[in-house]
Amino acid sequence: MLKQLIIKNFTLIDTLDIRFNPGFSVITGETGAGKSIILGAIGLLLGQRADTKAIKAGASKCVIEAHFDLSRYDMEEFFSQNDIEYDPDDCIVRRELAASGKSRAFINDTPAPLALLKELGERLIDVHSQHQNLLLGKQDFQLEVVDIIADDAAELALYREAFSEYTDSVKALGELNEKIERDRANADFIRFQYDELDSARLAEGEQQELEQKASTMSHSEEIKSALYEADNMLAAEGAGAVGNLRSAGGAMEAVASMLPQAAELAERLNSAYIELKDVSQEISRLLESIDFDPVELDAINDRLDTIYSLEKKYHCESVEGLLARRNELREQIDNIDNSDEALAELQAKVDAARQHCLDCGARLTALRTDAARRIEGEMQQRLVPLGMPSVRFSVAVDAEQPSRNGCDRVAFLFSANRSTPMQPVSQVASGGEIARVMLSLKAMISGAVKLPTIIFDEIDTGVSGKIAEKMALIMQQMGRSDRQVISITHLPQIAAVGQTHYKVYKEETDSGTTSRMILLDGDARVREIAQMLSGSDVSEAAINNAKELLRK
């Protein structure tokens, strides 16, 4: 419930701090007094786009702040999920707009993105403006009304999951069909590419091994020279390092009994001798194995040329890439050869997914059909007292192809007279009739949705007299169930029913025109309603009439 609204430097408002009460409240004021400005400020709190032109001339920024009582609406989960401090008795929503164009939003003094502000706003306030009457012609709105009354959110979620699986399988089938068609058109070329790669008999690691062999054979003379020199230094008769190291170890062993340290040195020299001898033997084997064979080198280079040519042709950087490409081509060929089986298998999945979607849709349709009958009965009861004794209201639920919202097309049909056939409500209802239908729908929906605050912006357009009074009583009734209803109105019959009455007016000050909003009580309220009855010249009769309206 909206407890307090604070507006600073917004359009014609310099400072406004107004408190709101539970139940049914009304806001009155002449056209152009600033009622739409207040709605615009509330719209910013609900996440609407901001315009720097809305900042009062001469001010650096505007601030709109609202305080809400959420103690009866079980909204703690929203705050915990978004890591925002939860105070059910005083939830503060604030929007700041700087002249530089920068906009900031806060929920309980925690910075919040506009998307989050909008999500919270949709749970706090429903603003019904005059243009929303056009929603009666929108199928989505009509379907949403039926879904709210059907309380089918869980079933709708299951249906949407099934519909998503169905559309995904249809998409996969289409993609497979397109791929098979492309592959079939290129079948000969695909087989040629596969045969070319397969006949090359490629092996993983082959390129690196061949490149190493080619490098070794191309530098065989330098390699053999280095190996020969190393072999000679290590194993030359009488002068090789291996023999000298062995002799050094023997010398140390000879004096080990006389010099204790010599035994350890002899052991270390013998270990070094064993390792160096092993190295010398390995070098000797390499020396014998290195040989230059021009025929083999030519064969290696030819093989590498083949590999390099294939890599360039298939845009691969390695033999492994060529092998992967060959495997892809093999898979394409298998798909072409087995395309009928693959299509049949996927088609079966599509059929199963469609049937599951239709089954879920049928359960959703049953809930909607039952809700449609309840809506018809309740709307009949609500509209007859609103000056339409012969009204007929029907909710048609017709089958259509599965879509994200189900397998149903919903239409609200209406006739104000028994002799006139029912047609879509937006096509045959007058402005006043549409206003009464929308109010009745809102009243019905409000019983199913636990929304703290509903604001009606001149929903009484096109009605007057007793009908306006009955509409006021409906809004008053809506405000009795832990709900706050605020109506912006030009009709005294509605203004008189409000439990709380506010007036918006313009005032000329030294700094220019300013919009203000005050709470009316006692004589001030009587005079405001009398003025709504008679115009600027308030007569005694108008005063008495206003008192009578308030008494009733």
What is the full DSSP assignment across 203-259? -TTHHHHHHHHHHHHHTHHHHHHHHHHHHHHHH-TTT-HHHHHHHHHHHHHHTTTT-
How many separate domains does the chain show? 3
Position 475 in a domain: yes
Residues 327 and 193 in one domain: yes
Position 308 in a domain: yes
Residues 459 and 550 in one domain: no
Q: Is the separation of the CB atoms in 90 and 121 below 8 Å? A: no
Residue 133 confidence (pLDDT): 59
Residues 209 and 319 in one domain: yes
Position 5 in a domain: yes
Residues 529 and 550 in one domain: yes
Residues 92 and 214 in one domain: no
Residue 146 confidence (pLDDT): 94
What are the pLDDT digits (tens) for 434-460? 888 888 888 888 777 777 888 988 887
**Cα-flanking dihedrals φ and ψ of residue 531, to 5°?**
-65, -35
Residue 292 confidence (pLDDT): 63
Residues 77 and 128 in one domain: yes
pLDDT band at 395 (very low <50, low <70, confident <90, very high): very high
For 498, counting Cβ atoms within 10 Å of its Cβ (0-12 exposed, 13-18 middle, 19+ buried), the class is buried
Which segment of 42-46, 205-209, 338-342 scores lowest on mean pLDDT?
338-342
Most confident of 118-127, 330-339, 352-361, 381-390: 352-361
| 376's tokens | 């018809």
Alpha-carbon span 512 to 503, nearest angstrom = 20
Most confident of 153-167, 336-350, 416-430: 153-167
**How large is the C-alpha radius of gyration of the chain?**
44
The CB density around residue 3, as the number of other CB atoms within 10 Å, is: 16
pLDDT band at 483 (very low <50, low <70, confident <90, very high): confident
* Residue 409: pLDDT over 90: yes
3-class DSSP state for residue 144?
A: helix
pLDDT band at 237 (very low <50, low <70, confident <90, very high): confident
Mean pLDDT throughout 221-227? 75
pLDDT band at 131 (very low <50, low <70, confident <90, very high): low
Position 245 in a domain: yes
Which letter, b or e, does each residue of 522-548 get, where b requires 16 or more Cβ atoms within 10 Å of its Cβ? Answer: eeebbebbbbbbbeeebeeebbebbbe
* Residue 132: pLDDT over 70: no
3-class DSSP state for residue 292?
A: coil
Mean pLDDT throughout 470-474? 89
The more confident residue out of 152 and 219 is: 152
Residue 85's domain comprises 1-132+450-520
- Using the 3D structure, point to which of 293, 316, 337 is the last residue of a domain: 337
Which segment of 115-119, 120-124, 272-276, 536-540 scores lowest on mean pLDDT?
536-540
Alpha-carbon span 495 to 528, nearest angstrom = 9
Most confident of 71-75, 90-94, 125-129: 90-94
Residues 467 and 332 in one domain: no
The residue among 429, 347, 359 whose CA lies nearest residue 391 is 429
**DSSP code at position 99:** T
Tokens 């979607």 found at? 357
pLDDT band at 535 (very low <50, low <70, confident <90, very high): confident
Residues 196 and 310 in one domain: yes
Mean pLDDT throughout 74-94? 91
How much of the chain, in percent, has pLDDT values that exceed 70?
97
Position 171 in a domain: no
3-class DSSP state for residue 480?
A: coil
Residues 126 and 196 in one domain: no
3-class DSSP state for residue 395?
A: strand
pTM: 0.66
List, in order, residues 6 or more apart from 56 with CB less than 8 Å away. 9, 10, 11, 12, 13, 14, 62
Residues 550 and 477 in one domain: no
Alpha-carbon span 231 to 240, nearest angstrom = 9
Q: How many residues does the chain have?
A: 552
* Residue 259: pLDDT over 80: yes
The residue among 548, 384, 360, 349 whose CA lies nearest residue 474 is 384
Position 467 in a domain: yes
Residues 96 and 235 in one domain: no
Position 329 in a domain: yes
Position 386 in a domain: no
Residue 34 confidence (pLDDT): 84
- Using the 3D structure, point to which of 337, 370, 395 is the last residue of a domain: 337
- Using the 3D structure, point to which of 286, 310, 337 is the last residue of a domain: 337
Residues 194 and 316 in one domain: yes
CATH code for the domain of 505: 3.40.50.300
